[in-house]
Structure 1
Amino acid sequence: MPRPPGSRTPLSRTAGARRTAPLRRALALALALPLAAAGQLTDPPPAAASDNGLSIRPAMGWSSWSFVRRWPTEAKIKAQADAMLSSGLKDKGYIHINLDDFYQKCDANGFIVDDYGRWAVDEKKFPSGIKALADYIHDKGLKFGFYVTPGIAKNAVTRNTPIEGTPYRAKDIADTSKQEKNYNCKNMYYIDYSKPGSQEFVNSWARQFASWGVDYLKIDGVGSHDIPDVRAWDKALRATGRPINYALSNNLAIADAPTWRQLANSWRTQGDVECYCGPGPNGSGYPLTDWGHITSRFTSAANWQQYAGPGGWNDLDSLQIGNGDQVGLTADQRRSHLTLWAMAASPLLLGTDLTALNTTDTAMLTNERLIAVNQDGVAAKRIVNSGAKQVWSKREADGDHVIALFNTGASGNQTVSVTWAQAGFTGTAQVTDLWSGRDGGAVADSYSVTLRPGETRLIRAAPAAGNTVRHEAENASYTAGSTVDSNHGGFSGSGFVNTPNAVGSSVEWTVESASARSAPVTVRYANGTAQGRPMDVSVNGTVVAAGRAFDSTGTWTNWTDATLTVPLQAGANTIRVSATTANGAPNLDYLDRG
């Protein structure tokens, strides 16, 4: 069909080997996701990921905002780092200790700045300085995170401070007609990036952070109008030569998701998860959140799912787990909270007081099966959304399906069900309950459970040998320039692949087989033109059906099946369909492997 505008150049996915230990298994799956070379087959999500080599898996750690709020101190941050070790969380992969806002000094005109116009640190709160704090954290085998917002401080412009290493000054780059969003001292002017010295100012700030030992930088208050700042900070962080995980916040526009993905390692998809309903100043103190702030993430996670992948993640905000019911969630709700974050492959950044962890929550946070689901490098799709009943599913690189069933209601039990066909396979699967570790045995065709309000059930379903396994085209690898479209009805999954009209346009699936055998495969396609769109079918690089006919189906909404038998080896196989004429391939919906 005619090509719509837009192109897709995301990561390539290859199968990973199965591991018996959940965390080692997740690492193997995640690290089996190398960057695709230009012009080769590419794989969702539909935008280029940041190529800074960071955040191949979602970040795990702790951030100061939820519990510490506006009163961070050197002693408090050190205490949290100490607790990260003593609790055993570090050993499970929680390695980031992130200092959020309110470490700075302010006066009536906003942030007090140093001699080069950068925010000054409040020495009363941090008497040893930020570098010493970072060194303390690094000595414990942890990573240190920091915080900034776009723009240049009013005090820098008033003083007309020089820009380090340049002949330029603050007034040369500031647009004083507009003020940036800032949650603390306010009074941040826009930077005019058309002016010489603007990039150099951001570079100088990034160099300072790198010299202090920053490993993770959150840039907050970001809106679509701040894309020039986001680009500038991306360039600046790379120029430091230090690996710095780059996170954007908050409530970012999904219309600009390809840009966030290209430039950053994570991006906040909504506003704060905190309810600001505690008894202290500005709503601080317990409770930290409520169930409504958690359930609001379900829809945003579904909407943003396609943009998550190695190198860039949809950030659902902090995990409010660790301090029991006082955070504002029941134990059932906290398990659902962690389950959604794990299924969505969101960063797992705790917001609670690590010095006061209770045993129930520590068991949740250190459950290796849950951590493995988060670290597998795959963001789940919502496949059932019926009132309080929700089901999410993802297929991991080894062929297992991880499925989460939720009752998101605040009252009343719900029986939540899913068929294996909805998850993308048929027949029988060996089921494991991932929260408890219990073996659920062989389950045929479907799975159902009655859940209390706020409760979840998380299972791993390993399809039995001989089952039909569905591989959606939108989750496959495909030629650069292809798009995942949904403008013609009747497709399975979230869309279909529309490749360029060219010889060689192709889609490639990775298919597992328990043994070497001949297996039936079915390619579902639509061809709304009058001409056939023949394709070569190859398995593991060898053409097994040259010029296979994919004839007209009459309309683009009339989907039909092409079935053939192909040779498979034991383990992972690649099955590619490749157009042999300038008309390109038909629209491709899925491949079923028998």
Structure 2
Amino acid sequence: MSTAFGIHIMRGVPRQAVKRNLPVLGTNTHAQDIANIKDPCSWSTAMYGVDTSKPAGQAYYDSIAKLYAAWGVDYIKADDMSWAPSPPAAHSYHEDEIEALSRAIAKSGRPMVLSLSPDRTEVAHAEHVMRYSQLWRISDDFWDNWKQLKETFALCRVWAPYIGPNHWPDADMLPLGRIRLRGYEDGERRTRLTQDEQITVLTLWSIFRSPLMMGGDLPSLDPFTLSLLSNEEVLAVDQRSTLNRELFARGHQIAWAADVPGTKEKYLAVFNLHESPAAVAVAWSELGLTGTCVVRDLWKKQNLGAFESDFAPRINPHGAGLYRVRPL
């Protein structure tokens, strides 16, 4: 196991630096020369945008990337980059500053992952965001409620064609376990998702190959949450599957599939969004398979046997199943 050092930053230049008109490293310019005061962060009073049409604007981003490289940073989450309400933001997708930070990282001499947020990056920017970052948010801040989880299915379907390698649509952090320790709006609490809904989260995130980032308190993990995060057969779907795609959405039932690299096998994920248990039937022909297939339940780590032409597991309300299918 290895560790990585990540930081969270905000787009732009600090307003205090602009107020004090501090110098931009390596140039004869100052913060007031590069600040775009007409393009501030829409929810924070800490930052102004940077005018990257000026060489000093790029130099500013070069300077902070060089600093982060000197710190040994491995991962940069750059906030206020890929979405913002307007007004007061001048524009929603800050492609100029995304490019400037990406170029600065490339010049820094240290490989650092660039993650963009917040909220829903528009698919219209897919080619650009794939070129200049490694992951980007596709949803609003994801919290522990069923309504948001249901909405995420449509977002994943739209972004599936843009999955990897080295560029990953990000469905946001996993609100599992103990997700609040103190204060804020409602004090200390655990996730409000049921166990079935938590399985649905991990199943969808894995078959979609979303980055998996735990949003709960690791030291107080309960056995169930730990089992979700440490199932190596499920994690293999997230880390190594290919051609991830939605098979169908039939009323309250959804199925996704992916290929198992180097084999004729398939991964199959099925979801029951209804309020009652239901059998979710998938024909082997929908997976591009024929004949009899052997099925393994990845969550239970159990072989379920051979099935001739289709497979119809019974799924709990709001629940999911994740399987590996091998043709005989």
Fold shared, TM-score > 0.5 on shorter chain: yes
* Equivalent residue number for residue 104 of structure 2: 236
Say which one has the larger Rg.
1
Equivalent pairs: percent with the same residue?
A: 31
* Equivalent residue number for residue 126 of structure 2: 257
Cα distance in 2 for residues equivalent to 1:314 and 1:400: 24
Q: How does 1:303-452 map to 2 (within 5 A)?
A: 303-323=158-178, 326-378=190-242, 380-397=244-261, 398-409=263-274, 411-452=275-316
| CA shift for structure 1 position 379 | 5.5
Cα distance in 2 for residues equivalent to 1:234 and 1:320: 29
Cα distance in 2 for residues equivalent to 1:296 and 1:380: 19
| Contiguous gaps of at least 5 residues in structure 1 | 1-90, 92-140, 275-288, 465-594
Cα distance in 1 for residues equivalent to 2:290 and 2:241: 24
Q: Give the one of 11, 34, 41 matched to 1:180.
A: 41
CA RMSD after TM alignment: 1.6
Cα distance in 1 for residues equivalent to 2:37 and 2:324: 55
Number of paired residues?
308
| Contiguous gaps of at least 5 residues in structure 2 | 84-91, 180-188
* Equivalent residue number for residue 73 of structure 2: 214
* Equivalent residue number for residue 143 of structure 1: 4
Cα distance in 1 for residues equivalent to 2:59 and 2:314: 59
TM-score by length of 2: 0.90
Q: How does 1:470-481 map to 2 (within 5 A)?
A: none
Instruction: Give secondary structure in 1 for the equivalent of 2:175.
Output: coil
Deviations for 1:208-254, whole angstroms, at most 9, x for unmatched residues? Answer: 11111211001112235410111011011111111111111121111
* Equivalent residue number for residue 137 of structure 2: 268
Cα distance in 2 for residues equivalent to 1:293 and 1:252: 16
Cα distance in 2 for residues equivalent to 1:249 and 1:152: 17
Cα distance in 2 for residues equivalent to 1:404 and 1:219: 32
| CA shift for structure 1 position 435 | 0.7
Which has the bigger relative contact order, CA under 8 A and spacing at least 6?
1
* Equivalent residue number for residue 550 of structure 1: none
Instruction: Give secondary structure in 1 for the equivalent of 2:236.
Output: helix
CA contact (8 A) 1:428 1:443 kept: yes
Instruction: Give secondary structure in 1 for the equivalent of 2:306.
Output: strand
TM-score by length of 1: 0.50
| CA shift for structure 1 position 190 | 2.1
| CA shift for structure 1 position 296 | 1.4
Q: Is 1:201 aligned to 2:60, yes or no?
A: yes
Q: Give the one of 158, 162, 180 matched to 2:19.
A: 158
Cα distance in 1 for residues equivalent to 2:293 and 2:37: 63
Which has the larger helix fraction?
2
| CA shift for structure 1 position 187 | 4.3
Q: Which amino acid aligns with 1:341?
A: W
